[in-house]
Structure 1
Amino acid sequence: MKGMAYILTILMTAVIFTVAIVGMLLLPLILFRIHITQNVEIQTGYSNAELLLLTSLSSRAGDSSVQEMVANHFAFNNPPDLGFFEEKLKLFLGDGGCYQLSDESGVLFGDLCTSKKYEATTKIPLPYSTGKLSKEIKLVIN
C-alpha cells in the first residue's frame, strides 16, 4: 500500500508540474498575441484624414514646426501664414480633393466640403501663458 501511495504521489506531482510548465509557457504566448493584435489594430486603424493631419502637423516650415505655428495662431490671435499647410493638403489630395480645417469657432481655411468622406480631430497643446492646455482642431477631406 505504501508503494502505491508513493507512485500516486509521484504521478500527481508530475502532472501538476507538467500543467504548471505548460501554463507558464502558453500564458505569455497568449497574452503576447493579444498585445500584438491590439497594437496592429491601433497602428492600422487610422483613417486617411487622421494620417494626413498627423503628418502635416508634425512637419516643419522653415525653422519652426507646423504644430507650434498653429498653436501660436490660436493662443495669441496672431495668424501666421498657413499657406504652406494648405499647399501640403493640396499636394496630398490632388486636384479633385476637398479639404477643410476648422476649430470650435469656425473654419480656418479650405473649401466648403459638401460630403465628408474622412474626418479627423486632434488636440494641439497651447503655450503655457494662454491659460488653456489644448485646442481641438478638425480636418475634413473628401
Structure 2
Amino acid sequence: MMKLAIFLLIFLSPYVLACTAEKEAKEKESFAYVSEFQEFKGMLSLSLNFPNEVESVAINNIYVHIEGVFGSYISFITRWYYPDYSTSDISIREGDIDKVKIYVSYRESTERGVAFCGPNREYTLRELLNVNTPAKEPGPPPPPDF
C-alpha cells in the first residue's frame, strides 16, 4: 500500500503542483501605453496593466527585467479608470523597449499566507504596447461620504 501511495504522489505531483503559463481564452488582455505625462527627459514613462485576477487567482507580483540593465519587482495599484486591472508605472530609455520582459505571478491567498503556485504570465514590453488600450471608465469616482 505504501508503494502505491508513493507511486501516486510521484506520478500526480506535477499535475497537482503545476503552475500554468497558458492563457485562457476568456482572460482579460494585458496592455501597456505611453503615459500622457513624461516625467524625465530622455526617458519614456509607461503604464503597464495586468488583470487583477487570472483563473480566479489574485495578482501577487510583477517583475520587470531589462536585459543588461536591471531587474526588479515593481509595485502595482488598481486605478479607478481601469478597475479590473493592476497598474504599474515605469520609466525606461526609449532604446530599451525591445529589451524589456515582464513576469506576472498570480497566487492564491490562504489563511496561512500565500500558496506557492498559481498562474504565471510572461510578456515583452513591445507585445503589451501593441495591444489596443481599452476605454477608460468615465469620470473620477465621487468623493467618499464621511
**TM-score band, normalised by the shorter chain?**
under 0.3
Structure that is richer in strand per residue: 2
Q: Which has the higher contact order (CA 8 A, sep 6+)?
A: 2
Q: TM-score normalised to the size of structure 2?
A: 0.27
Larger Rg: 1
